[in-house]
Structure formats: C-alpha cells, structure tokens
C-alpha cells in the first residue's frame, strides 16, 4: 500500500525525533505544531496552531536544561560567568546553527518560499521541537535528548570557549615570563569518536592533560586544567 504525502511526512518526523533526540514520539500533534510556521496557517484546515507557543515553552525548557548542566558542572562558578556560558549555548546563533546541522528546515511546514527559509526560522523551530518533546515525553527524557544533541555538536568545546582558558593561561605566562606550550601526546577513539590527548606545559612543567574531539577543544580542556591548578578555577 502506497503512503500518502501526509503519512510520509509523519514517518519522516518520527524518524527525525528518534534520530536527534533519542525518543519515540507518543503523540505527533505537538511535533506537527512545532514544525509549522505561522505563514502556513492560511492554507491549513486541521486546527493545528503555529509553533510560536511551543517556541516560548522550548526556550524555557532549554534554559532549565543548560542552567542545570552548568550548576552541576561548575560547583564553584560565579553567577556572571555561568550566565555568559548559558547565553552562548542557547544563543540564537547556536540554535540556528544546530537547526541547520540536523536539517530541521526540511520538515518545516512554511509558505515563505524556499529562498526565504532563513536562519531564524531554523532556530525558532529548534526551540519549538524541544517544547514538543517536553510535552510529549516529559522533562527528563527531553533533558537527556538535548544533552546528547549538544554533545554531538561539541558541547565541551562550546563550554570551554566561553571562558577562554587558553588565552587566560598565555596572558598569565607572559606576565610572569613563563613559556606556555601545548603538545599532542596521543590520538585514540572512544565510542567511535576520534579524540586527541593534549598536554600543556608551563615553564617546562606539565600543568594540565586532557582530551577532546578536536585539537582546539583538547587545548582548551588542558588549559582549563592548568588554570585550575594556578588560579583554583572550576
């Protein structure tokens, strides 16, 4: 039996949510709304709303997930620093980028024309989809799915890049005339992901060792370890 266009779309949405959020949709209604832009309402007769309310909900859920992550990850972090980290992780730019990477625009129900699918529509849809997952599967399943998605797109690098430990370390070394060097000490795979092991030396002494999915993120992680020894930073 051949599937109709509506059935094919629903199958695609189910696959999309399973793949990127790791949950099986129970009800498709919130996802259909999350992927409906207000421009499509004039030609729809199924009673579904646009994704604007779900954007509002998803924005709050994302904030809670990221705040919880930062609060636990940085037990000694100050409010200002964690606020900047949160702003970076859930910024419009980050959400637009994430939406583009996972192809959310290909499921958008919008009548803006192909050329008019700009970045903000992707970011708005990302928030709305998070709101839909929350309504359908609850906070903890949504939290798990969002963190998995962020990790997939280098969460650790984004966290560490918010506080530039590498620049902070170099600045400290210059003032005290201590040479700061980074050295790759190994490459390996963990759960199928390529990782680099990095060592940072300050004045010839090893001050930090860590790993990351890129040399840049591994440098930041090692620099953070060195800053923890030097400044007591978390």
Spatial CA neighbour of 100 closest among 76, 136, 78, 126 = 126
127 is catalytic: yes
Spatial CA neighbour of 66 closest among 151, 191, 166 = 151
Helices (H), the chain: 5-21, 29-34, 52-73, 79-89, 92-102, 119-137, 139-152, 155-162, 165-175, 215-231
List 33, 55, 109, 127, catalytic entry: 127
191 is catalytic: no
Distance CA 228, CA 160 (A): 13
Query: 199 forms bridges with which residues in the sheet?
Result: 183, 209
List 59, 109, 136, 156, catalytic entry: 59
Distance CA 31, CA 134 (A): 10
So which residues are the catalytic ones? Answer: 59, 127
């Amino acid at each position: 039996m051949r599937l109709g266009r509506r059935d094919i779309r629903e199958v695609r949405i189910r696959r999309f949510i399973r793949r990127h959020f790791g949950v099986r949709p129970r009800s498709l209604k919130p996802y259909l709304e999350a992927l409906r832009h207000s421009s499509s309402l004039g030609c729809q007769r199924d009673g579904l709303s646009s994704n604007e309310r779900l954007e509002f909900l998803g924005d709050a859920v994302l904030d809670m997930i990221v705040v919880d992550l930062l609060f636990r990850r940085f037990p000694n972090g100050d409010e200002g620093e964690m606020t900047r980290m949160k702003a970076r992780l859930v910024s419009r730019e980050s959400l637009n980028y994430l939406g583009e990477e996972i192809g959310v625009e290909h499921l958008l129900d919008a009548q803006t024309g192909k050329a008019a699918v700009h970045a903000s529509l992707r970011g708005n849809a990302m928030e709305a989809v998070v709101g839909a997952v929350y309504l359908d599967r609850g906070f903890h399943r949504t939290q798990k799915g969002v963190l998995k998605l962020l990790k997939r797109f280098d969460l650790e690098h984004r966290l560490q890049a918010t506080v530039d430990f590498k620049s902070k370390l170099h600045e400290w070394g210059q003032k005290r005339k201590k040479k700061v060097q980074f050295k790759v000490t190994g490459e390996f795979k963990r759960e199928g992901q390529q990782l680099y092991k990095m060592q940072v030396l300050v004045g010839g002494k090893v001050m930090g060792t860590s790993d990351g999915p890129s040399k840049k993120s591994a440098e930041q992680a090692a620099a953070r370890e060195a800053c923890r020894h030097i400044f007591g930073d978390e």
